[in-house]
């Protein structure tokens, strides 16, 4: 029996659009071009997506859903943090982030967001909320819980969260947008070293 998953026409349209938008930019790709690349008539494409804007919103919703999955659940977070070291917490958070954000499809969507946020206000807002503000709030929450439980030094958790996330953003942009292919071994090595430094010299009580 054939166990191969059948890819729907809607999924094919989605994947082709991600490829074209990431290569040429959203504004430079027409629905007709997408339909041609898929191998269907333009009129058939509109049965699946009402407009190019609808298609872009679906792409961003997919990105958001995947990004949200990288966060440790808030429920039970305090109990979890009581049973791990700050370094273990940072490493686990990074590994979840890496698994999703360096997925090829997500990397392409990140490129679309980076290109379009320069000329589209709604995309710029999405960029700020999903890639800057939410990660900051989640990181700060983890630091707040550890601080309240006496697990880390008395640091300004807002500043610590900004500093910690700044390196992740730097590394992501360097590897995704400035290189032809990300070096996953280098990414993991550098991030784990960063986590160790941050845990031992910024968060550690009586840090060295």
By the 10 Å C-beta count (0-12 exposed, 13-18 middle, 19+ buried), 144 is classed as middle
Query: How much is the pLDDT for 177?
Result: 84
Query: How much is the pLDDT for 206?
Result: 55
Residue 182 Rama label (left phi>0; alpha psi -120 to 50; beta): beta
Query: How much is the pLDDT for 166?
Result: 95
- The model's pLDDT over 101-151, given as tens digits with 9 standing for 90+, comes to 899 999 999 999 989 888 888 889 998 998 899 999 999 999 999 999 999
Which portions of the chain are predicted below pLDDT 70?
1-6, 206-208
| Domains parsed from the chain with CATH numbers | 1-49 (1.10.10.60), 57-203 (1.10.357.10)
Query: How much is the pLDDT for 180?
Result: 81
Query: How much is the pLDDT for 120?
Result: 86
Query: How much is the pLDDT for 73?
Result: 78
Q: Compute the half-sphere exposure of residue 178: CA atoms within 13 Å on the CB side of its CA.
A: 7
């Amino acid at each position: 029996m054939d166990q191969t998953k059948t890819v729907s026409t809607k999924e094919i349209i989605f994947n082709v659009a991600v490829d074209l938008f990431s290569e040429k930019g959203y504004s430079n790709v027409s629905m007709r071009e997408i339909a041609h690349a898929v191998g269907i008539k333009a009129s058939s494409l509109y049965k699946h997506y009402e407009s190019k804007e609808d298609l872009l919103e679906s792409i961003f919703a997919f990105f958001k859903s995947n990004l949200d999955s990288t966060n440790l659940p808030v429920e039970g977070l305090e109990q979890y943090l009581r049973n791990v070291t700050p370094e273990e917490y940072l490493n686990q958070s990074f590994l979840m982030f890496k698994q999703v954000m360096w997925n090829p499809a997500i990397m392409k969507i990140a490129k679309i967001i980076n290109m379009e946020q320069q000329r589209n206000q709604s995309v710029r807002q999405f960029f700020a909320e999903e890639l800057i503000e939410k990660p900051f709030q989640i990181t700060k929450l983890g630091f707040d819980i550890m601080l309240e439980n006496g697990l880390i030094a008395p640091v300004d958790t807002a500043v610590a969260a900004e500093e910690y996330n700044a390196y992740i953003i730097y590394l992501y942009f360097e590897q995704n947008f400035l290189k032809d292919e990300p070096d996953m071994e280098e990414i993991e090595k550098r991030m784990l070293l960063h986590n160790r430094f941050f845990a031992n010299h910024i968060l550690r009580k009586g840090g060295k």
